Each structure stands twice: as C-alpha cells, then as structure tokens.
C-alpha cells in the first residue's frame, strides 16, 4: 500500500539517501527531472514548504518509489494499491511506469490540480462517525457541488466541493448525528467535479506516456478492482481526479481476493491506521527498508 497526500514530514527520505548509493542517485535524478532541488526541501524544508501541492506530491512519490526499490528482493507483491496520489507510486513500484515518467506525471498532476483549485473557492471536510449511505443521502439534498471524495474507512468519509456547499453539508451532517465534521486545510476540492480542468490536462499527458503491465494486479481507486491491462489502468487514472477514492472498498476486495498481510511503503503510517479500522483480522506492517 502506497500513501497519498498528508503523509509528508520534514526530513523525509534522508535516511534512504544516507544509507544507499542507489537511493542517492535516484534523489539526484528526481531533482534533475523536476528542475528544482526537491530533495533539499524534503530533507531540510519546513512543514509549510512541504505542504505546497507541487512539492508534496512529488516528495511522497519519490520517497515511496525509492523505498520500494531499496527493498530489493523483499519487494514481491501479490497485489498493489495506492491512496489517490499513491496509485502513481504503486504503478511505478510495480513496473507499469518508468520512474522518470511516473515523476513527470505526478508533477503535471500536482500543477494541474493547483490550477484547478484557483478557479473556484472550494474545500474538503472529513465526516466522522456516520455510515457512508447516510452521508451520501444528505449530500444529495445540498444545493451546489458537494460529493463523497475519499471512502477512507468505516465511519470516515471525506467530502469535497464548493466551499459554501461543503459548509452547508457539514451543518446538515452534524444535525443528522455525525460525531464530528472537520474542515480540512487543503488547497481545493480534490476528487470532485471541480477537478475537471485538471483531469483534461492530465489525460493528455497520460495518453502520451508508455505504460506496461504491472508485476501484480493494481487495485485502482476508481473501481476498487484489480487491473493489469495498461489501457484500462490509464483510463482509471484519468478518471481518478474527478472520482472518489474507494479505499474501504479496495482493502475489502483485496482481503476477499486472499490478502492477509499488508505492507505500507513510503512516508508515514496513515494507511495502516485505516487498515485497522477496515478489518482487524489481517496483519498490517510498515515495510522496513
């Protein structure tokens, strides 16, 4: 499992850079491709600097893919998945994308999302302690654009949309019995129809990028189902920006298909926390590099 935005932290990846020559070379290659010293910001930047979308997304991707590569022969996945941005890390670690191509797409994705957020006042909020169906029903009654964005775990659904619509939904959800609704400190309404301009930008870049079959099925955010066909993978990746991340459903499908041990590869352990809330019968571990 590969994490998405929110897993970044100051100093991320420095241990890999110091420990492995191959990691050092990949960090330097990433700086070259991006045209700015990403590794410098990762190792020495502040939380604030790391929170900028054009830094956060490449930083998490680079950290995750390098960590997977440094696992060497221990990296033998039977299935792969990534949360939102993490899907690009999963596809690259799984051999569907070259490191350079994956990184270029992630940068384009970050910049396209940034541009889309500047077009409308928009935001996201986490709804805690309410079942998904109830949240979905209430959102349908709210005027304006507000949709489910991240099905993170039972009782944790993130909503996304126009700022006023999200605020109105937050009030309605609290009245209906949600334990808490927390407004998120994000740049815009990710995984909502407001990301349509970003989806168009990214679609063009994805269509031009060579994809191969991954070494193991990748359970994609849009369908929560396993995929190995490069063309279908591309279409699902394009749809991802305007569609919800079905993480709860993804993990349940992986378990249904036989997964018993889950490893989180990359910064932080957000996904291990979600895994425990989704199903305690399986093992979750941090992949130690």
120 is catalytic: no
One of 153, 191, 192, 243 is an active-site residue; which one?
191
d(CA 283, CA 147): 32
Q: Which two tokens stand for residue 47?
A: 């939380």
One of 84, 89, 153, 243 is an active-site residue; which one?
84
d(CA 43, CA 161): 33
Domain boundaries, the chain: 14-117+193-286, 122-183
Question: Average pLDDT of 53-67?
Answer: 96
Please report the pLDDT score of residue 87 as a whole number.
Answer: 98
pTM, rounded to two decimals? 0.96
Does 266 score more than 90 pLDDT?
Answer: yes
Given a contact cutoff of 8 angstroms between Cβ atoms, the answer to whether 282 and 79 are in contact is no
3-state secondary structure 120-155: CCEEEEEEECCCHHHHHHHHHCCCCCEEEEEEEECC
Please report the pLDDT score of residue 133 as a whole number.
Answer: 97
Element (DSSP H or E) covering residue 103? helix 99-117
Q: How many residues does the chain have?
A: 289
d(CA 195, CA 52): 17
Does 122-183 carry CATH code 3.40.430.10? no
Q: Spell out the CATH class of 14-117+193-286.
A: alpha beta
Question: Average pLDDT of 128-153?
Answer: 98
Please report the pLDDT score of residue 185 as a whole number.
Answer: 81
84 is catalytic: yes
């Amino acid at each position: 499992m590969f994490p998405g935005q929110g897993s970044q932290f100051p100093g991320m990846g420095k241990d890999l850079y110091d420990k492995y020559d191959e990691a050092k070379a990949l960090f330097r290659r990433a700086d070259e491709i991006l045209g700015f010293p990403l590794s410098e910001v990762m190792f020495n930047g502040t939380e604030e600097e790391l929170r900028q979308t054009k830094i956060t997304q490449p930083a998490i991707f680079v950290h995750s893919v390098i960590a997977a590569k440094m696992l060497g022969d221990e990296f033998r996945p039977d299935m792969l998945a990534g949360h939102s941005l993490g899907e690009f890390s999963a596809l690259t670690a799984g051999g569907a994308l070259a490191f350079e191509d994956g990184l270029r797409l992630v940068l384009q994705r970050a910049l396209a999302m940034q541009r889309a957020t500047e077009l409308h006042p928009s935001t996201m909020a986490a709804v805690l302690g309410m079942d998904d169906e109830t949240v979905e029903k209430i959102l349908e009654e709210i005027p304006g654009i507000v949709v489910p964005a991240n099905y993170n775990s039972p009782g944790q659904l993130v909503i996304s949309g126009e700022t006023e619509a999200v605020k109105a939904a937050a009030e309605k959800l609290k009245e209906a019995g949600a334990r808490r609704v927390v407004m998120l400190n994000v740049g815009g309404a990710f995984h909502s129809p407001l990301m349509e301009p970003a989806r168009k930008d990214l679609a063009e870049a994805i269509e031009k990028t060579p994809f191969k079959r991954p070494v193991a099925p990748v359970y994609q955010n849009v369908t929560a189902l396993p995929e190995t066909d490069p063309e279908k993978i591309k279409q699902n990746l394009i749809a991802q920006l305007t569609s919800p991340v079905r993480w709860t459903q993804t993990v349940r499908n992986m378990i249904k298909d036989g997964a018993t041990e889950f490893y989180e590869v990359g910064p932080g352990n957000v996904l291990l926390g979600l895994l425990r809330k989704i199903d305690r019968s399986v093992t979750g571990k941090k992949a130690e590099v």
